[in-house]
Structure 1
Amino acid sequence: MKRKIAAIFAADIAGYSRLVAEDEEETLRRLASYREVIDDFIAKASGRIFNTAGDAVLAEFPSAVDAVRCAIDIQESLRTRNMAYPPSRQMSFRIGITIGDVVERNGDLLGDGVNIAARLEGLAEVGGICVSRAVHEQVANKLSVQFADIGAQEVKNIPTPVHAYMVAMRREDGSYATPQLKKVAKAEPALNWMWPLVVGVVSVVAIGVGGFLYFTKLETAQVKSTAASPVPSPAVAPSPSPTPTVAEKAPAPLPTSTPTQTTTTAAMPTPIPPPPAASAGKIAVDAVPFIGERQRAFLSNEYAAAGDYKAFALNIGGFTGSALNQPNEEAARNTALDQCQKRADAAQSPRRCELYALGNKVVYSRGNPPMPPQPWVRHDPTTERPFVAKDFPMLRDQARTRVENMYAPAAKSRSVALGPGGQYFMALGASSPEETTRRSLESCGAFAGSACMIVAVDDVFVVPIPTLLRPNGFFHAATNSSIVADARDEVVRKLGVGTGWNAVAVGTAGRPGLGLKAADEQTAVNTALADCAKHDSECHVIAIGPFTVGPTN
């Protein structure tokens, strides 16, 4: 037998017995399909499945970062697949992850690490992830992930409580869901001499409750339901087709856990402001997100001139639907949503359409997506270079291939926005560079739940793309924990001035060194290291341009 430390991943399906009882053949077929997805993600993240039983999967990973990133990828991929099924038939996994000392025997792993991972899986929400404190400490500053501390949990067959954290998963609209806390209070053991008293008290209470229920008439309120009357087949408004857009929640590359690597913990998404109210009986067309100039012209002209019974629907991918001159509001609502969803489905967009306006009243509840400050693009000949898909930062190879196949040959104007967690969005064939950058930022921001960054416009990378070290996140000096607190404001101030290549290095004491406005990447890195060495030791580079960076392999 061989002992080792490993990150242990445990997953199984919530409500699996019910799904099998309702439709065994269909459930088993879908389980095989979902397992292919899970197995593929685990293999790509350098994991190894060491045991399976029915719907359960046990796997080991070389690091906690690999395990958590893989778990997030799995849950987000399966959530998209589940959208094709009604809620009662959705097949959702719970996942638990811990780091533990395990024993390897004939390829199988045994020990408390495996048991704790299984118990954490039981604490996870449906479609969620629950991790131990050891895992949280390993990944908190290495992945753009939010956690909810649920405290010490009493779990079966584990003698000491397990301190656990829930991973905050993204909703369909890109915002973060707040995990439901499942903290279990530890019950104090009752003293043996108190049992007779407890039994007596319970008996008296039971008799009293029974008498009360016997002599009290319980009333139940009836719920009245009304059925909507059928409406005639409505005429669909000829709203313009949306400009092609592509979004994908692509996972960021997995940062290594070496001491020289530093990333910034992502802040919770900025609260999204409410949607604009209608002004003077018309929709504030310029404030409608995700759409292009043709859709804005349609809203300003045909839609504004139509009668009261009209509706406009959209989704974050930029697909729209509209209905004008309908017999009633219900017909307008249904027709606009149906038209939008058909367009989205035809383009294989995973996003659902939602009603934006009913008549001239904005009813969209999502509000405007988070956006970065302007200017969104700063052209700098020193750092710009031709767009090459294989050099796109923070994407896996599969996502880079997709960008290469779709973005490179697309018509201008086009752009790609990148989110802090590796999400990206392409807006293709827009009417102008201004439109394409706005649309890609809006959709990416809604998708990621936080402000994104324009990385490429047409055929050019418009931000510095590091090549000496691997980009693995967005760099925010004001919140970067590797930099000593009293130096962060000065770093922010100096980085905000000028153009060219910038780099930041820190040493063991967190004292920063800066390489600013350099003509090339190597010069910026060398200058930052030399500056850091003046007042710190063992300096290493943590940021180049707008990215945090780590070793290339």
Structure 2
Amino acid sequence: MKRKIAAIFAADIAGYSRLVAEDEEETLRRLASYREVIDDFIAKANGRIFNTAGDAVLAEFPSAVDAVRCAIDIQESLRTRNMAYPPSRQMSFRIGITIGDVVERNGDLLGDGVNIAARLEGLAEVGGICVSRAVHEQVANKLSVQFADIGAQEVKNIPTPVHAYMVAMRREDGTYATPQLKKVAKAAPAPNWMWPLVVGVVSIVAIGVGGFLYFTKLETAQVASGAPTSTAAAPAPSPVSVPSPGPTPTMAAKAPASTPSQTAAATPTPVPTPPAASSGKFPADAVPFIGERQRSFLSDVYSSAGDYKAYALNIGGFYGSALNQPTEEAAGNAALDQCQKRADAAQSPRRCELYALGNKVVYSHGSPPMPPQPWFRHDTVTERAFVPKDFPMLRDQARTRLENIFAPAAKSRAVALGPAGHYFMTLGAASVDDAVRRSLESCGAIAGSACMIVAVDDVFVVPIPTVLRAVGFFHAASSPSIVADARDEVVRKLGDGTGWNAVAVGTSGRPGLGLKAADEQTAVNGALADCAKHDSDCHVIAIGPFTVGPAN
């Protein structure tokens, strides 16, 4: 056996058993894919994997700097891959790192260093990294990494508390997420000789408080005698845990707001009355941005719950709910806090807002602008395989995101496009209709105008111009290029526009149409020929739903 000092890296998947239970084959397939990423990063950082068990990975590194840098690279890479999946199916690792004295036996490493790394991994946030004080001291001035000191932690099978630090993970915009502090080590129990003293003090306080309340009640009863009363105080409602469809909304309870101090004319501390359910049924079907599973929760659980309750959401589809809270303010704060934590964890740039207090909608933005239905239709003539580089009206950076995130994502998925180049994609929805609606709602809220579905799952569902470049949305009824008295006729003829359609105009604005063609070039040629019958110097202004300009 060989003894040495090494930086020990331990990684494990959060919620692995649940993922396997829900879909074993898909989980194992993704685990193999993610392990390729992890193994590659470890090898590049001069690390060595010395043990694996199921979803766990144990590795050693020659230095703490190499280990931490490798861990950050792994988490950032896997975070990007996870964006292709709904939150309930994301496969996120926790990583723990320490420096310790270990024993090598037949290639495996044993000892407290390995055990402490595994315990630090258990302290890490989902998708986060937790390191020991020894590691922090080694890397604090060598890497541009921020840490949060979470103090001494009591961990299983380690006799002394371990002082630990969380690594602040960088978001896409370059800022750093603030790690959530874990519980600190428990204080040592009070010596046995103190218990009689504690019991005595508590007894004296209890007698004093009981006497005060008795005489206070007596005085209040005397003051109130002769004054009619019609309201009886009822016990405060107790928080309940309510099942909900996944992703499960956490019923986040907050402490009630502090009450004003007693006045000189002592009155009993008011006991909150149990709030009744808000009048009217909660309009679950009208809530935008969310999926059908969350809508079912709103319809079945939230709607029937009594106040105080609240619901929060943001444009990106993140949400938070709180039921059975002590006050309306506490409900609102708890719902907002839960929603924002979910949004921050996914690096969403959109802030959460209150949608409802009780069953009353308080969201000030109303419904997002939506196009008329049908929101999309399949046309075998124009439909073709989705290729990110051909997506119209987007910058190269956005097309790269579509290639890395949308293309490999789980179905059902859809991308909506706005008239100014805004876009929004929904991944892993319960159905195509759900993905389409959510994409249009979020895109419309961001763009401020109705968007258009361009891609669904693996295909473009609108004609994508290639002869000319798409530069905007084409609306014949308001097109300034078409003479006013001809616009209605163009709208009518394009109304059932299956196949390839094109519009051309000349110097007088007289339109020519190429309708229901079998391919793009035929539609373009037809539009130019038709325009030439009525006008001169004709050129194509629209192909399919897009206004077009010269190709790059």
**TM-score w.r.t. structure 2 length?**
0.51
Deviation at 1:281, TM superposition (A): 2.4
Q: Give runs of aligned pairs for residues 140-151 of structure 1, distance below 5 A.
A: none
Deviations 1:202-227 (A, max 9, x none): xxxxxxxxxxxxxxxxxxxxxxxxxx
Asked if 1:423 corresponds to 2:398, the answer is no
Deviations 1:393-449 (A, max 9, x none): 000111000011110111111000000000000011011111111110011111100
Q: Which runs of 5+ in 1 are unaligned?
A: 1-79, 85-232, 244-277
Task: Read off the aligned partner of 1:409 and give its amino acid letter.
Answer: P
Specify the SS of the correspondent of 1:298: helix
Contact 1:507 1:539 in 2 (8 A): yes
Contact 1:507 1:540 in 2 (8 A): yes
Contact 1:234 1:331 in 2 (8 A): no
Q: Distance in 2 between matches of 1:323 and 1:241?
A: 15
Task: Read off the aligned partner of 1:334 and give its amino acid letter.
Answer: N
Residue of structure 2 equivalent to 1:526: 525
Deviation at 1:313, TM superposition (A): 0.3
Deviations 1:315-374 (A, max 9, x none): 111000001111111110000000000101111111110101111111111110010000
Residue of structure 1 equivalent to 2:353: 354
Asked if 1:483 corresponds to 2:482, the answer is yes
Residue of structure 1 equivalent to 2:457: 458
Q: Give runs of aligned pairs for residues 339-488 of structure 1, distance below 5 A.
A: 339-488=338-487
Specify the SS of the correspondent of 1:422: coil
Q: Distance in 1 between matches of 2:471 and 2:407?
A: 23
Deviation at 1:297, TM superposition (A): 1.1
Specify the SS of the correspondent of 2:303: helix
Q: Distance in 2 between matches of 1:382 and 1:475?
A: 20
**Two-structure CA RMSD over aligned residues (Å):** 2.7
Q: Distance in 1 between matches of 2:337 and 2:368?
A: 24
Deviations 1:21-74 (A, max 9, x none): xxxxxxxxxxxxxxxxxxxxxxxxxxxxxxxxxxxxxxxxxxxxxxxxxxxxxx
State the identity as a percent. Answer: 81
Deviation at 1:466, TM superposition (A): 0.5
Q: Distance in 2 between matches of 1:241 and 1:345?
A: 19
Specify the SS of the correspondent of 1:338: helix
Contact 1:419 1:445 in 2 (8 A): yes
Q: Which runs of 5+ in 2 are unaligned?
A: 1-171, 177-237, 249-276
Specify the SS of the correspondent of 1:305: coil
Decide whether aligned partners of structure 1 residues 476 and 365 sit closer, same or farther in structure 2, where only a CA change above 3 A counts: same
Q: Distance in 2 between matches of 1:341 and 1:524?
A: 49
Comparing 347-356 with 299-308, greater Cα deviation is found at 299-308
Deviation at 1:280, TM superposition (A): 5.9
Q: Distance in 1 between matches of 2:293 and 2:173?
A: 32
Q: Distance in 2 between matches of 1:83 and 1:549?
A: 39
Decide whether aligned partners of structure 1 residues 490 and 324 sit closer, same or farther in structure 2, where only a CA change above 3 A counts: same
Contact 2:455 2:462 in 1 (8 A): yes
Contact 2:278 2:358 in 1 (8 A): no
Q: Give runs of aligned pairs for residues 155-170 of structure 1, distance below 5 A.
A: none
Contact 2:504 2:531 in 1 (8 A): yes
Deviation at 1:282, TM superposition (A): 1.9
Task: Read off the aligned partner of 1:371 and give its amino acid letter.
Answer: M
Q: Give runs of aligned pairs for residues 214-253 of structure 1, distance below 5 A.
A: none
Deviation at 1:498, TM superposition (A): 4.0
Contact 2:278 2:307 in 1 (8 A): no
Deviation at 1:304, TM superposition (A): 2.3
Bigger radius of gyration: 2
Q: Distance in 2 between matches of 1:514 and 1:500?
A: 13
Specify the SS of the correspondent of 1:334: helix
Q: Distance in 1 between matches of 2:417 and 2:466?
A: 18
Task: Read off the aligned partner of 1:428 and give its amino acid letter.
Answer: L
Runs of 4+ residues over 4 Å off in structure 1: 80-84, 233-243
Residue of structure 2 equivalent to 1:545: 544
Residue of structure 2 equivalent to 1:495: 494
Contact 1:321 1:339 in 2 (8 A): yes
Q: Distance in 2 between matches of 1:428 and 1:403?
A: 11
Q: Distance in 2 between matches of 1:451 and 1:242?
A: 29
Decide whether aligned partners of structure 1 residues 335 and 405 sit closer, same or farther in structure 2, where only a CA change above 3 A counts: same
- Tell me the matched-pair count: 295
Specify the SS of the correspondent of 2:366: coil
Contact 1:415 1:436 in 2 (8 A): yes
Q: Distance in 1 between matches of 2:175 and 2:353?
A: 15
Contact 1:303 1:324 in 2 (8 A): yes
